[in-house]
Every structure is written in structure tokens, then in C-alpha cells.
Amino acid sequence: MPQSPPSFGGAVPSKRLSRLWHLGRATGDLAAGIGVKGLIDLARARGTGQSARIQLSPEHTRRFTDRLAHMRGAVMKMGQLMSMDGSDIFTPEAAEIMGALRDRAQSMPMSQLARVLEAEYGAHWDKRFKRFEFTPIASASIGQVHRAETRDGRRLALKIQFPGVRESIDSDIDNLAFLGRSLGMAPKGLDIGPFLDEARRQLHREADYAAEAEALDAYRAWVGEDPDFLIPGVHRDLTTHNILAMDFADGVPLDRLAGPEYRRAERDRAATLLMRLSLRELFEFGLVQTDPNFGNYLYNAASGRIALLDFGATKSVAPALVESYRQLARSAIANDRAGMRAASVALGYVGENDPGEHIDAMMDLLQMASEPLRQAGHYDFGLSDLFERVYHQGRDMFHSGVFSTAPAPETMFLHRKFMGSFMLSRRLRARVELSEIARACI
């Protein structure tokens, strides 16, 4: 029988005006934390095309992230993305608190959870289960996950969507666009509309559990019975519009391997497996799981397998785009700047008629970013400062007007996957023979 229900967090705001009110209060907390001087500095930076550092006290940052964690949905998803590069945008104290937003969404109160279960499974939904754990084992921006066991003995993870999240995506994105313009978070003259539209499409896809089930099945077909990876199976009889029923996977979040109880060999192996898989996704599968959240990977120490979770952000990549990335990677490994330039034009990183100094600056940046692909032997991510070097140089180029063209919007989710793979390897302080893996995959 289902266990006794515990206490829960606040209800998910589902009405457009309610979400606008909460976002307004979050913006107020952010503005109060930045202060008048900070807002003036942001305005000046917007006018000059330069970057500005957001100075937030821990108190105001915590209040801001509490608001986003309460809202869930698109605003929390964007807040999670903001937290990934907080080491330069925010103060160190604020960056630490923003980083916690990646895995601290509030769960639904019991009353709201019960309404969802009754709406999807009927009034006697509990008769389907031998055991249902009301306390979620995970809670994210779009839904929360519960452990359950059916009457016929299947151990399941039920991903239950927050009410109103799907309907709130468009208004959330519009409100975030207004916030970004108001605070000058994009360089003057840059049209962020296509990128926000792509984010809108991606979030709608993440909220479509039927599409996620199809993506999960398609991905499993590519991976097959791999002894290193576990892809949960979908249980269609318990999957609905707002609930995705999957095999339950045992394990701990992969970034726990960074702890002293795990050996370097385990960290190196896990990072190597995921780096190889990331390259296979792009160059072999043409199907990429673009959400690099560390919690999407579970490590089972007994079997040594890595369970892959959350396929809502899975995207098919057009063959032409794959080939352009293949040309770019091969040219970068060979230090072929002419080949890199041709691939960069195809991808939209530079324009065919851009000034020579702008093109040279972009080629320098891409050569720097491809450093791990060229280094023979192990690349030590734990000792690497490559992320900081690429980030600072790219940011300076971004604000100085070097980027006269914008790449295809769908590439931003591929960039997120590439960065996430790098950041996970760095979190694990892993050594990976990436050059050998890349040559085998491309």
C-alpha cells in the first residue's frame, strides 16, 4: 500500500498572472540585491557593449533562487543555466548559492500531487501499486520523480509533471526576455529572439512526456545492450500525458565519484565512457541528449554501469550540421585553419565576408577550445583552466562586436552538452585520452 504522505513544499503557481507576480517579486529581489549603483553599471555596460559583474549578497541571492525554485518551469530552467557560468558573472558567494539551484526545486504539496495522480490514473489510482513513495526522490524544473512498485512486482520511477508548467512556458519565456532586456544581459544590437524561440521549443518538448518516451526508445536502440550503460525502459501502461513511467535505476549521482571514497580509476573510466558517448551521440547517432545536469547520470558501483536519465531534452541533429561539426573537429585537430574557417562559416560562427581580424580571433578561440582534442595521451581535466580561458576570451569577443553573425539557434543546446561534458570531467578531476576517442569517432 502507499506510504503515509509527508509534508511538502508550496504549490506550483500555474496561472499566468500568478507566475508573473512571482517573477516580478524575484526580479525585485534581484534588483534590490544589485542596488542602484549596480543597475547604473549594468545600464552603462549595455550602452557600451561591455560586460558587467553582478554583485549580489548571499541573502538577496538566496531569496532570488528561492523564488525560482518555488516557480519551477522555464524560469527555473533558465536560472539553472545562469548558474553554470556564475564564477565570473556573480560574486563567489552568490555563485555558490546560484549553483545550488540546479537541484533544489520545491516538491508539490500532497494535495496537488493527489490531484495529478487522480486525474491521470483515476480515483482509485493507489490500487495499481503495491508501494508508492510520496516523498520524491528527485525534483527538478518541470517535474518530480517518485519510486513505486506495481502489483505485479515492477520497480518503477514515475516522473510526474508539475501542474501548469506546460501552459506557462510561453509566458515565462516572454517575461524572461523582458527581464534580460531590462537588465542589459545581452550585447547591444544582438537579436536574442531566435535563441529564445529555440529555448521555447526545447522546453515544450521537455514537457511532452510522450515525446520523451519516444526519444528514450530511440536512444536505447542506438546504445543497445551496452555493458557500460543502462537505459531505463518505458512502461506504456502507466505512462500518460503528465506521468512518465520508467524502470527504476539504482545508483548515486555520478559527480559523487569526486569524493574520497572512490578511486581515480573509477573517475577516469566514468568520464571516458561519457566523453565517448557524447561524441557518438553527435557523430554516430545524430541524436543528442542535450541536458548535461550531473543528476542525469547514476553510477552503480556494484555493476560499474552508468544509468542515463531524463531524455526530455533529446534532439535530432540534421546530417548537414553533423558534417559541419565533423569538418570543424577534424580541422581543429590538424591545425588546419582554412578548414576550420570553412566549417565555421557553414555553422554561422563567422560570416564569409567578415573582417580578417574577426575571423582570425574566432579561429584562435576555436583552436584554444579544441586543446583537449589535440593533446596526445591523457588530458587532465582536474588541472585544466581551459574553461576559464575560453570563457573570458569568448566573452570579450562577444561584447566587442567580433561576432557579426549568430550560429543556428539549435547549436546552443549542442554547446550546452559540450560544456556540460567538460564540466563533469572537471568535477571528477578525471584524466581522459580524448584525442584517441575523438579520432575514433569523427
User: How many whole angstroms separate alpha carbon 8 and alpha carbon 144?
Assistant: 12
> DSSP letter at 90?
B
Q: How far apart are CA 422 and CA 418, in angstroms?
A: 6
- How far apart are the C-alpha atoms of 433 and 437, rounded to whole Å? 7
- Which amino acid is located at 33 in the chain? G
E-only strand ranges, 291-355? 297-299, 306-308, 314-316
Q: Which helix (H) or strand (E) is 320 found in, with range?
A: helix 319-333
Q: Of all helices (H) and strands (E), which one includes residue 204?
A: helix 193-206
3-class SS at 157?
A: strand
- Identify the residue whose cell numbers are 537541484: 103
Q: Helix axis angle, 356-369 relative to 319-333, nearest 10°?
A: 80
What is the C-alpha to C-alpha distance for residues 288 and 317, in angstroms, rounded to an integer?
A: 7
Write the secondary structure of 366-386 as one string of H (helix), E (strand) and C (coil). Answer: HHHHCHHHHCCCCEECCCCCH
Which of 61, 75, 148 lies closest to 105 in space, CA to CA?
75
One-letter amino acid of 392 = H
Task: Outline where 8-148 has alpha helix (H).
Answer: 16-48, 58-71, 73-84, 86-89, 92-100, 110-121
- The single residue of 172, 255, 268, 291 carrying the catalytic annotation is 291
> Distance (Å, rounded) from C-alpha 74 to C-alpha 333?
37
Question: Look-up: residue for cell 524561440?
Answer: 197
Q: Look at phi and psi of residue 350 and say left if phi exceeds 0, alpha if psi is from -120 to 50, else beta.
A: beta
Per DSSP, 85 falls in state T
- The verdict on whether 291 is a catalytic residue reads yes
The number of angstroms, rounded, from the C-alpha of 122 to the middle of its chain's C-alpha atoms is 33
- The answer to whether 370 and 333 have CB atoms below 8 angstroms apart is yes
Burial of 430 (0-12, 13-18, 19+ CB in 10 A): buried
Torsion of the alpha carbons at 122, 124, 128 and 131, rounded to the nearest 10? 120
For residues 129 and 284, give the distance between their C-alpha atoms in angstroms, rounded to a whole number. 40
Q: Scanning the structure block, which residue is given the C-alpha cell 569538418? A: 327
Looking at the annotation, which residues are catalytic?
Answer: 291
